[in-house]
Structure 1
Amino acid sequence: MGLTEDEDVQRMLQGSLLWKVKARGGSRARLFRLQEDGVTVCFEGRFRRARSPQSFSVAHIEGLRQGRQSEGLRKHGAAFPERHCFSLALKGRRKNLDLAARAEEDARHWVQGLTKLMARLQAMSQMEKLDHWIHGVLQRADRNKDNKMSFREVKSMLRMLNIDMDDVYASKLFKECDRSGNERLEGRELEEFCRRLLRRPELEELFGRYSGEDRVLSAEELQDFLRDQGEECSLRQARAIIRTYELNEKAKRQDLMMLDGFMMYLLSAAGDILNQEHTEVHQDMSQPLSHYFISSSHNTYLTRNQIGGASSTEAYARALRAGCRCVELDCWEGSDGEPVVYHGHTLTSKILFRDVIESIRDSAFEKSPYPVILSLENHCGLEQQATMARHMRAILGDRLLTQPLQGQDPHHLPSPELKEKILVKGKKLPELWQESQGVPFLLDPEEEEEEEEEEEEEKVKERSPRRSLQSLQEIKPLQAKDASQVSPELSALVVYCQAVPFPGLAQALRHPQPCQVSSFSERKARKLIKEAGPALVRYNARQLSRVYPLGLKMNSANYNPQEMWNAGCQLVALNFQTPGYEMDLNAGRFLANGRCGYVLKPLCLRSPPGEGSRRLALHIRVITAQQLPKLNRDKGSSIVDPFVRVEIHGIPADCAKQQTHHKLNNGFNPRWEETLRFQVRAPELALVRFVVEDYDSTSCNDFVGQFTLPLPSMRQGYRHIHLLSRDGASLSPATLFVHVRSKSL
């Protein structure tokens, strides 16, 4: 990693005794040590009992916080001084690691060291990541740690690399590299063996096509290649690319590019399938909120399923770090006058409302400066509603929007330029409300849809033989008699997002109310789309609508968000804690515009019935894959038989999928050279999902990796795709290499 001499990293390599604070209280001393690869951290009991050490990768650290800032350390870390504590938030579904050091100095070394390693990983080129990965595999395969590799160890390494290489060919390659003839590869011999393994014949052929017989690319020849890629490029720009990526100093001085430099270029961000301009906020952010898709979460407090899963403030931090801009709080009466957040009528654990608001305050604008909406599903009585309002004002301070913007019509929605502000979505008292008239009865906007779902849930519970579900009938949340009323204190915090029951499309289109928001279950939204899709699009051009998953899905499954986006729905709320293709689509939708959580809707959804863009013929040639991860299966860790599926998600007429044939026993460098063809009628709404699976003739194929992006953000030409795991973590150095071509019809 190039940080071997760093004092903090040195201390991590030596190892430290840290206390691991458990989620349910208590702590255990563990020896934490950074491994020689500079990426893996292992930890085990002080006395090294039989249990094998656990580990995590620095690449999977999503956030690092000093002090007692995590939920676990706030609850159970009081025994340790604040400055001895730190916590690591890990990507995917792994729990936080809450840690306490013996001394402040130890905690500082680990926090500073991990921060440096994370930054170094982020800055690494793909070639560096590849070298680093190979180095790690070599270390694991060298069983006797003599820095030499026998043929047996080389065979072991090949299996680690996901290659089932023929023994005869492997032996031939081994002997060719064993210059010393001592039946051991070391130093330069090992380097040569790895270099041969990492050859990219398809890139060599591509390079040869443009460089000609001399196998050297001039600036003019590079310019030709870039033009064929669909990139306008001057001779001056071509020379700048050579100076940036060429490794050979002599060639660089002569404005020439060798094969290694060409590979470096294609493996860099410049060769990525995602348009790099779209990794920054580049869209018009001055339009009303109703003109944007807004990344939204359902049951944000849950870490697992909605029947018996744990509620956690960390779930809010995780969603907000993932770019979510609308989070949900199910608020219920709690003991000691303190409202709580949890999934009512279930076995999910409860968390204090004030703790949730603190977590939102700390994480809201860590990844995006654009406004956050708090979607309140309120089941509290008047007194605890007033407490909720007090907590929000006290904790959020100036970030909480409590008044309409000056100089703007208060009956029109603001734009996302309302940076670092938090908006409350909830019930609101009528403007002409008088105290003497008493508190009016206001229906919870989600109660209408949820009533019939709850009835169905109860029927499911009654039919279920499982005791845990039957016992849910006995559980009743503590509610006040006036839970359907709204307090003036809470009402005053609702400025632009007043939650109301849906009045029907005819009424809503005749009398639009831009600052009113209605919620729809996925079933009701589908019914509206089927019966009056164009009218719903017109409605969504003026007002916000929120769609949420059916409550009876006990495993917190998600619905396909694409059909809701097609109708212009903005707050398409998903269970962020449930990985799957639905969350892949959500991550893909909000990948563009700098992952800020707001994406401008196409013109046809902002000013209906405006015309969409022209139809596209899309041709994707799947060429090769590189360094696909091995799958850990119960039946043994076998070499994968990969195939690639390309899916188009868009309007119903555009939804399609095609796949390549599978390649037997090769996850290291499989080659397909297969072209998949699509016609896309509404490209401005389409998402493209690349999926790699392991073919299995007798059971379901196993997921290997995927990447999803908006079609308008996809670049043409020869491109690399960096694959992600099921829960969205990087699978570096795993890539796909494709050629993309599209033309208007």
Structure 2
Amino acid sequence: MADPQPSPLPALDVSLSVPEEFKTGAVFTKINSDRKQKQVKFRLDVDQGQILWESKKYGAILVETIKEFRTGSNAAYDLAQLGLPFSDLPRFISIIYIRSGSYKTLNVLAPTPEILRQWENAVRALYTTRRDLMRGLDNVEMREAVWQKMYWKGADAGGDNKLDLKEVENLCLRLNISAPPAVVKKLFDATDSQRTGFLDFESFKQFVKSIKRRPEVDALYAQICDGSPSKIFDSQAFEMFMKGQQQSDLSVDALKAIFAKYATQPVEGQVPVLSTTAFTTFLLSSDNAVTASASGSHQVTQNMSHPLSHYYISSSHNTYLIGHQLIGESTVEGYIRALLAGCRSVELDIWDGGDNEEPVIKHGNTLTSDIPLRDICDAINRYAFVASPYPVIISAEVHLGLESQDKMVQVLKECFGNRLVHDENLLQDGMPKKKIDALPSVESLKEKFLLKAKNLYVIDNAATSLLATSTPPATIEVEEPSDTSDSEAEPTSKVAKVRGEIKSFGNKLRATFGSKKGSRPTTPSNDQRPPKPKMSIKLASLIVYTVGVKCRGLPPATPIDGVQSENAPHYEPEHIFSLSENKAKRMIKDDMLSVIKHCQNHLVRVYPKGLRVNSTNYEPHEFWAAGAQVVALNWQTTDFGYLINQAMFQENGRCGYILKPPALMDFNAKLLTQRTMHFFDVMIISAQQLPTPKRSTKSELLKKNPYVDPLAEVSLHVPDWSSTPFIPTESKAAYSPSHKATTTEPTSSRKVSFKTSIVKDNGFNPVWQEEICLPFDCLGGRESGMMDLVFVKFVVWQKGKDDDGDEPLAVYCAPLGCLKSGFRHLPLHDSQGSQHLFSTLFVEIGIRDVA
């Protein structure tokens, strides 16, 4: 008797987009970073979602890890860096992807431009399919088909389109399913109804259905049916569930439309109902996403007609670096990566390029490499508005003489053209002819570049004005030096602080007015004016809405008798000052309301202190809570500060601009002085298909038991906006006091956390069903919008590796105010922020007010 023929695999739509010759393999020329070339056969594995090639190291790319395809003019810079002739450009492609948290590049030359076009289209089709599966949890049938084919092909070691018992046991091992051999054999025999000794694809799907059964969802389904008047999961039961547990504000008609999307097809005489499978599908879908961003929506949902100062702006510090602050490499890649991820403020550190040379970008007084300013600007211009159409602020530290400043202006104008905001109508003293009452809206600045730099003409006028007042120099607050020279030494006494300010003020006046050391500055008169600052008027014309000035202190938020003192510092709407994290922290601690009031109409930039030589980050929500908009981070470091930043700017279509909470935009002092108390209630129910932990030590690599022993942790990270945290004694929470932000002090937030028990030997479908109650306080309650500045982090750890210094199995982070209540599946990511394709955490969440 002939063996039964194995069932054919169902074809995915993407298979139709991948020519057969690319599946079996096409020979391209691979170029390494050392410029060595080699003929290599590349295969596209549709089922596994990979680009494969033979390699001694690791010849595979998961297509969902691809960050960018570069061809044509976008690849010209890469081509030149590899020393290839420009004639090769039509058949050259550079693919940027991530492996183990690091950016990698695959550079190849196709035999002909036409073959390159076909191969690129095939890879893009495969990439699009996998990307769409990660954008929300929609299209469950497609997700299931991709999952089945990926694991079927991986399990079929013999390549004969059938699985024997041993192959099924290995599959369970790969899926992190810890089950005794007898249990696996029982399931295998139950599925192998024909007693053939193997599973064909149809039998395999039944086997998968058995192991993927969700008893915790079955229990919830039964509970909903029991609470329904009809005792079935009909439209009425669905509406009760959505209005009750899920706290949905959708209309009845909208809920009926969602129900119809998942319910059984109407049959005469029968009421449409949701089956347990359909209910599971709904719970995993974008119709039940935990946030708007988790639904896969890239729509801008906020009003973009507010002035610039009303938005948080996704910002990068030392964008040109991709590593260490002192010895790292300066490269255009830092700008490309940041801009494609939605960053809207990048930094340029501009230095003289030498005789007859254009300026360069480098990290001054360090061993980092330099790169031509023109190369950086070309890259910025190409990538600035790919991810978002909203304005990009170029924060420039200019270390140039007059002649080089004019060269810089020429480069900026040639690269950015009409996109560069400028004002040619300046007065002879470099000041604008017309004053503005408020900053322009984000919407009006679409696809524009704003140059932020110090305008020495403005600083000159401000210093002259200061000298004309009777205010003693010791009381003037002078801006700290930039982070490249900031020693971050803290004064040990008030006397030391005053002495330091006097000395700093004197040095700055001498630098501005050219007076000799020991001479006393005199009040300028018509006969004796200070020398003109060494600044090009052409450069001044490019600094329009983001004019860098020194921080001279802030006027009080609530002046005495409602009248502001004549000696109070004044800033025009376009003035922006930069603060190191240390100084920003001190100002917020001394007078948070004045900082909030100032940030209502003015931009403030905060940057990491100079001691963060390893490019670590602070937690940015500490400064967002005070209204600071341009809170710059080291994007090359994917630590917790970076994770918070990414979580914040996932919202509003990932456009890089987020409206501040109403209490900060309108400066409601009454609301901002009210402290409300709440509980974040969480039930950690279960996890699905957790990744296998990385093995770094020899003992881990030799460990026979590869199963995951997971535990989950939930933590709230609350800005330090009150002196005493809300921690009731009856809470189950484990409270961690104000702690280090990521690596170094001083900026930190309160952490309230709780960990579940450990589930042994199960990374496939561990179930906890553990309730957690985390207390926290907020300014102004729910209506203030300040809950958007409290961040919640869900982490799944491997047993024994559950400290902050360890790498988690998976993580999810979001603003607390953006979370939807009820039963939700959280899409899990790795520690670098890349989403795991099939990994989720099933939770029930809600926020409870304390009476």
Farther off after superposition, 184-193 or 625-634: 184-193
Q: State the shift of 1:274 in Å.
A: 0.9
Please tell me whether the aligned partners of residues 509 and 539 of structure 1 are also in contact (alpha carbons under 8 angstroms): no
Q: Which residue of 2 aligns with 1:147?
A: 161
1:396 and 2:416 are equivalent in the alignment: yes
1:645 and 2:713 are equivalent in the alignment: yes
CA distance in 2, matches of 1:686, 1:361: 35
3-state secondary structure, aligned to 2:808: strand
Please tell me whether the aligned partners of residues 4 and 10 of structure 1 are also in contact (alpha carbons under 8 angstroms): no
CA distance 1:415–1:503, change in 2 (3 Å): same
CA distance in 2, matches of 1:260, 1:420: 46
Q: State the shift of 1:202 in Å.
A: 1.2
CA distance in 1, matches of 2:268, 2:291: 29
CA distance 1:105–1:431, change in 2 (3 Å): same
Deviations 1:15-40 (A, max 9, x none): 22223333453433322111141511
Equivalent position amino acid for 1:680 in 2: F
Deviations 1:96-145 (A, max 9, x none): 33332111111101221122223323444245324423432232222221
Please tell me whether the aligned partners of residues 690 and 708 of structure 1 are also in contact (alpha carbons under 8 angstroms): yes
TM-score by length of 2: 0.77
CA distance in 1, matches of 2:91, 2:433: 49
Q: State the shift of 1:534 in Å.
A: 2.5
Counterpart selection for 2:78 from 62, 72, 76: 72
Farther off after superposition, 16-25 or 343-352: 16-25
Q: State the shift of 1:182 in Å.
A: 3.9
Q: Which residue of 2 aligns with 1:461?
A: none
Q: State the shift of 1:538 in Å.
A: 2.1
Please tell me whether the aligned partners of residues 828 and 840 of structure 2 are also in contact (alpha carbons under 8 angstroms): yes
Instruction: Count the aligned residue pairs.
Output: 707
Counterpart selection for 1:561 from 620, 627, 648: 620
3-state secondary structure, aligned to 2:809: strand
Equivalent position amino acid for 1:656 in 2: V
Counterpart selection for 1:59 from 56, 64, 75: 64
3-state secondary structure, aligned to 1:96: strand
Structure 2: stretches of 5+ with no match in the other structure = 1-10, 134-138, 426-431, 465-477, 491-530, 557-566, 726-749, 779-786
Counterpart selection for 2:652 from 593, 609, 627: 593
CA distance in 1, matches of 2:280, 2:263: 9
Please tell me whether the aligned partners of residues 215 and 258 of structure 1 are also in contact (alpha carbons under 8 angstroms): no
Q: Which residue of 1 aligns with 2:248?
A: 231
CA distance in 1, matches of 2:38, 2:573: 54
Q: State the shift of 1:428 in Å.
A: 1.4
Counterpart selection for 2:257 from 220, 240, 244: 240
Counterpart selection for 1:660 from 750, 756, 763: 756
Q: Which residue of 1 aligns with 2:739?
A: none
CA distance in 2, matches of 1:257, 1:651: 43
Q: State the shift of 1:161 in Å.
A: 0.6
Please tell me whether the aligned partners of residues 714 and 755 of structure 2 are also in contact (alpha carbons under 8 angstroms): yes
Pairing of 1:428-507 with structure 2 (within 5 A): 428-430=455-457, 447=481, 450-453=484-487, 485-506=534-555
Q: State the shift of 1:185 in Å.
A: 2.4
Farther off after superposition, 611-620 or 720-729: 611-620
Deviations 1:387-421 (A, max 9, x none): 11111111111111113999995353222111111
CA distance in 1, matches of 2:266, 2:23: 35
Equivalent position amino acid for 2:165 in 1: F
Q: State the shift of 1:370 in Å.
A: 1.0
Percent sequence identity is 32
CA distance in 2, matches of 1:317, 1:648: 32
Pairing of 1:261-272 with structure 2 (within 5 A): 261-272=278-289
CA distance in 2, matches of 1:404, 1:397: 14
3-state secondary structure, aligned to 1:6: helix
Q: State the shift of 1:5 in Å.
A: 5.2
Q: State the shift of 1:246 in Å.
A: 4.0
CA distance in 2, matches of 1:7, 1:672: 42
Please tell me whether the aligned partners of residues 223 and 234 of structure 1 are also in contact (alpha carbons under 8 angstroms): no
CA distance 1:668–1:143, change in 2 (3 Å): same
Equivalent position amino acid for 1:420 in 2: E
CA distance in 2, matches of 1:697, 1:575: 26
Q: Which residue of 2 aligns with 1:416?
A: 442
Equivalent position amino acid for 1:20 in 2: K
Farther off after superposition, 237-246 or 218-227: 237-246
CA distance 1:189–1:448, change in 2 (3 Å): closer
3-state secondary structure, aligned to 1:87: strand
CA distance 1:126–1:23, change in 2 (3 Å): farther
Structure 1: stretches of 5+ with no match in the other structure = 46-50, 438-443, 457-481
Q: Which residue of 1 aligns with 2:639?
A: 580
1:527 and 2:577 are equivalent in the alignment: no
Counterpart selection for 1:321 from 326, 334, 340: 340
CA distance 1:307–1:449, change in 2 (3 Å): closer
3-state secondary structure, aligned to 1:148: coil
Farther off after superposition, 388-397 or 117-126: 117-126
Equivalent position amino acid for 2:671 in 1: E
For the aligned residue pairs, the C-alpha RMSD in angstroms reads: 3.1
Q: Which residue of 1 aligns with 2:324?
A: 305
Equivalent position amino acid for 2:378 in 1: E
CA distance 1:340–1:407, change in 2 (3 Å): closer
Q: State the shift of 1:52 in Å.
A: 5.3
Counterpart selection for 2:399 from 379, 398, 401: 379
3-state secondary structure, aligned to 1:315: helix
CA distance in 1, matches of 2:719, 2:97: 35
Deviations 1:422-475 (A, max 9, x none): 1000021426999xx9xxxxxx9773564342999xxxxxxxxxxxxxxxxxxx
Equivalent position amino acid for 2:62 in 1: S
Please tell me whether the aligned partners of residues 695 and 701 of structure 1 are also in contact (alpha carbons under 8 angstroms): no
Please tell me whether the aligned partners of residues 681 and 773 of structure 2 are also in contact (alpha carbons under 8 angstroms): yes
Equivalent position amino acid for 1:272 in 2: A
Q: Which residue of 1 aligns with 2:765?
A: 669
Please tell me whether the aligned partners of residues 38 and 117 of structure 1 are also in contact (alpha carbons under 8 angstroms): no
TM-score by length of 1: 0.88
Counterpart selection for 2:37 from 27, 31, 42: 27
Q: State the shift of 1:628 in Å.
A: 0.6
CA distance in 1, matches of 2:801, 2:372: 50
